[in-house]
Amino acid sequence: MSADLDRTPRNLLLCDRSSLLDQKNRLSAQVQQLHFGYKVSVLLPECSSAPSHLDSVLSSFSSFYLIRKLPIYELLDSDFLQKAVYPGGVYGLSYKTRIDEDNCVALMPNGRLCLSLDKDSFEVLGFEGKPSRFNHRSRSRFVVSVDLTDNNVAPGGRGYLRLVTGLKSRLHLQTDFLLSHHPGGRACLQPLLSRYDWSEHTPEVSRCHLTHLSCPAPRSCDPHSLLDWLGAVDAGVSREDSSSSFLSSLACPDPKTTLGGALRVSVCGLLLPPDVQRLIQELRRYLEQPLLESWVSLTVHGFMDSPVSWGDGEHGVLRGGENFYNLLMFQDHTYQLHLATGAHDTCPP
């Protein structure tokens, strides 16, 4: 048996409690820091169907594009830089690449390009970078992070030409690529899309009505136990601690109550922080209604194999690859925010 299997992987969970009425609360800034979400899950206690205005927001997340076999040097095209990157709000991520084995790419809304490369690719590229913080073997992985809005890498400059030459003439890095933009949409991306095989996708919404749901007290429950319970609910795993079942030994934390019903809604795709912000605002309005239960839960999961997680911080995967946050909002405008990462990740903000 591997020696690693007898050790529980390190994880990090940060908890923040504040009020949405407090002008100094950091919720909006923290939501913006997780650039690449792939799944948003909402749990509405004692709810059979979402109100139309909330359902409309859930169904109106920005569409995104899958470009097949995109040469990464195309992200440095001067027209693309002018129309999409410099104004801000462009989100791009290599698709179906594994951060612990493959070359991975992220283009962030602040104009920063991040390349997570294996040693051979990094040496062939011939551009400045640094060893990954999460090398599990000696210097086997390197990170190249470039601010494309910096004058030093402006089109025609020495740094720009060096990077383009490395990507175009030496490394020949290409990958399937997810791309989206807020709020410009397709218009600023169309020149790039027109040169390659691409398809447009709308985030997929799924709904599930739950009955007789054992529920802990969200304000007083231990954060780790609460997140375990929310994860089990989202995954459809039984929370009944039955000795006759060896598939799951999860039990709802005490003290607990039983909800007559609850609505679980999930949105999956390349999900942008501005859309999550709109959803949070709509959930605030939802909570203003007289409800039997006075709280809602929202969980946002980041891509497991993204080269970045929080802000510009490096993300790494060896075992789990967790990078997500959970937001509990209450009727009195207070909230609890839980930010979680795995063993190979930088600290959330």
DSSP sequence for 59-114: T-PPPEEEEEEEEGGGGG-HHHIIIIITTS-EEEEESS--TTTS-EEEE-TTSEEE
Q: Do 215 and 196 sit in the same domain of this protein?
A: no
CB 18 within 8 A of CB 335: yes
Specify the amino acid at residue 87: P
Q: Do 70 and 195 sit in the same domain of this protein?
A: yes
In a domain, residue 328? The reply is yes
Give the domain-ending residue among 147, 168, 201.
201
CB 264 within 8 A of CB 220: no
Tokens of 217: 């007290």
Q: Do 87 and 165 sit in the same domain of this protein?
A: yes
User: CA dist 45 to 161, 219, 285, 296, Å?
Assistant: 56, 14, 15, 7
Q: Do 39 and 152 sit in the same domain of this protein?
A: no
In a domain, residue 170? The reply is yes
Q: Do 69 and 195 sit in the same domain of this protein?
A: yes
In a domain, residue 348? The reply is no
In a domain, residue 73? The reply is yes
Q: Specify the pLDDT at position 134.
A: 77
φ and ψ at 222, to 5 degrees? Answer: -55, 130
Q: Do 173 and 104 sit in the same domain of this protein?
A: yes
Does the N-terminal peptide bond of residue 255 adopt cis geometry, omega within 30 degrees of 0? yes
Whether 42 shows a pLDDT value over 80: the answer reads yes
Q: Do 260 and 300 sit in the same domain of this protein?
A: yes
Q: From CA 77, how far away is CA 174, in angstroms rounded?
A: 15
> For residue 224, what is the DSSP state?
H
> For residue 253, what is the DSSP state?
P
Q: Specify the pLDDT at position 175.
A: 97
Q: Do 28 and 84 sit in the same domain of this protein?
A: no
Q: From CA 92, how far away is CA 212, in angstroms rounded?
A: 41
Q: From CA 27, how far away is CA 15, in angstroms rounded?
A: 12
Does the N-terminal peptide bond of residue 183 adopt cis geometry, omega within 30 degrees of 0? yes
pLDDT band of residue 170 (cuts 50, 70, 90) is very high
pLDDT digits (tens, 9 = 90+) for 72-100: 999 999 999 999 999 999 999 999 999 88
Q: Do 79 and 41 sit in the same domain of this protein?
A: no
pLDDT digits (tens, 9 = 90+) for 242-292: 555 555 567 788 888 888 889 999 999 999 999 999 999 999 999 988 766
Q: Specify the pLDDT at position 184.
A: 72
Q: Do 25 and 71 sit in the same domain of this protein?
A: no
Domain count, the chain: 2
Domain that holds residue 169: 64-201
CB 200 within 8 A of CB 65: yes
